[in-house]
Amino acid sequence: MTVLVFLDPAHENGRVADPAQPQLMATDLGATRGDGIFESMLAVDGVARKVGAHLDRLAKSARTMELDIPSADAWRRAIATALAEHPPAEEIVIKLLVTRGVEGADRPTAWVQADAAGPVGRKQRQEGVDILLLDRGYDSSLAERAPWLLLGAKTLSYAVNMTALRYARAHGADDVIFTSTDGLVLEGPTSTVLMATERDGVKTLVTPLLENGILPGTSQGALFKAAAAAGWQLGYGPLQPHHLLEADAVWLVSSIRLLAPVKSIDGTPIPVSAPMTDELMKLLAEGSQD
């Protein structure tokens, strides 16, 4: 069951809308130009995780896109309404969406969508994923010199990400890790890349450099905070593909799938560590409470 709650100044806690009826104007710039932003978060046992981090990132995407969006409080109230309207479920996916609104209206369209989590995320979390490395076409220094390319914003213009996933599936893989034209590991189409090493009893978590034009991962941020408190060393790239092949474990981490262990890269099997996955899953849950 899908729950829709539109942010609407006339409804303090959001306006609940019928998901079986059309709710968007055909001239909404979200639909006609992918002109908007979004966030996806998980609610576990009725409690949304990392709401603050998602709202912070939504606000950052809005600034990059020059979008005037509802306040964090208005979003929190709409999220609460959506969760109250949704039948209880162990895991509920909550999406926050904002478009630039109907052409000419100069007022964003903003809504919350809640659905029970599907089986694919859980399956990949448990069974792992085979990934392809695909060229993202950008060099790793581009983000800072070309803000119009929106590299740090989570926009609704996700056609390339969706196509990369289809390409992977058509070529026998489950997911993708994008690389830069200068050979660095970037991110997945819907995830952050994470790798771990254990040397002489010292466990280290490493993720690519944010400055390379990737989206700051809310799950990676939550996990790093909890892992540091638990004694892990933390590292930030630059990472090259050979670093992933030489790691003791690699994951795609995202808010809905959580940690998906990477089993192979371009057909080459890599080590998977069930104990480290279990430990990091617990740390991620701890770090995602606020």
Distance CA 277, CA 154 (A): 27
Q: Is 159 in the site for its own copies (CB under 8 A)?
A: yes
Binding mask of the shown chain, residues 246 to 265, with x at each position contacting its own copies by CB under 8 A: --------------------
Give the gyration radius of the chain's Cα atoms: 19
Q: Indicate the DSSP class of residue 185.
A: B
Binding mask of the shown chain, residues 49 to 88, with x at each position contacting its own copies by CB under 8 A: ----------------xx----------------------
- The least distance separating its own copies from the CB of residue 59, rounded to whole angstroms, comes to 17
- The least distance separating its own copies from the CB of residue 95, rounded to whole angstroms, comes to 7
Q: Is 164 in the site for its own copies (CB under 8 A)?
A: yes
Task: Choose the stretch contacting its own copies; rule: CB under 8 A; options: 79-87, 140-148, 214-222, 276-284.
Answer: 140-148
Q: b or e along 106-140 (b: 16 or more beta carbons within 10 Å of the residue's beta carbon)?
A: eebbbbbbbbebeeebeebbeebbbbbebebebeb
- The least distance separating its own copies from the CB of residue 27, rounded to whole angstroms, comes to 6
Contact pick of 24, 80, 89, 230 for its own copies (by CB under 8 A): 24
Q: At 257, list the tokens.
A: 């799938």
Beta strands in 67-201 (DSSP E): 91-99, 109-116, 129-135, 175-179, 192-199
Task: Choose the stretch contacting its own copies; rule: CB under 8 A; options: 41-49, 158-166, 261-269, 281-289.
Answer: 158-166
**E strand or H helix that includes residue 221:** helix 218-229
Nearest residue to 46 via CA among 76, 13, 91: 91
DSSP, collapsed to helix, strand or coil, labels residue 187 as coil
Cβ 208 vs Cβ 226: under 8 Å:
no
Distance CA 277, CA 289 (A): 19
Q: Which is nearer to its own copies, 59 or 281 (CB)?
A: 59
Q: Which is nearer to its own copies, 38 or 224 (CB)?
A: 38
Binding mask of the shown chain, residues 183 to 222, with x at each position contacting its own copies by CB under 8 A: ----------------------------------------
Q: Which is nearer to its own copies, 28 or 195 (CB)?
A: 28
Q: Which is nearer to its own copies, 54 or 259 (CB)?
A: 54
Nearest residue to 133 via CA among 80, 187, 87, 86: 187
Distance CA 189, CA 201 (A): 33
Q: Is 233 in the site for its own copies (CB under 8 A)?
A: no
Contact pick of 138, 224, 232, 251 for its own copies (by CB under 8 A): 138
Task: Choose the stretch contacting its own copies; rule: CB under 8 A; options: 78-86, 138-146, 245-253, 264-272.
Answer: 138-146
Distance CA 289, CA 287 (A): 6
Q: Is 105 in the site for its own copies (CB under 8 A)?
A: no
Cβ 39 vs Cβ 47: under 8 Å:
no
Q: Which is nearer to its own copies, 17 or 230 (CB)?
A: 17
Q: Which residues bind its own copies (CB under 8 A)?
A: 2, 4, 17, 19, 21-36, 38, 65-66, 95, 97, 99, 111, 113, 134-139, 142, 145-150, 155-164, 166-167, 181
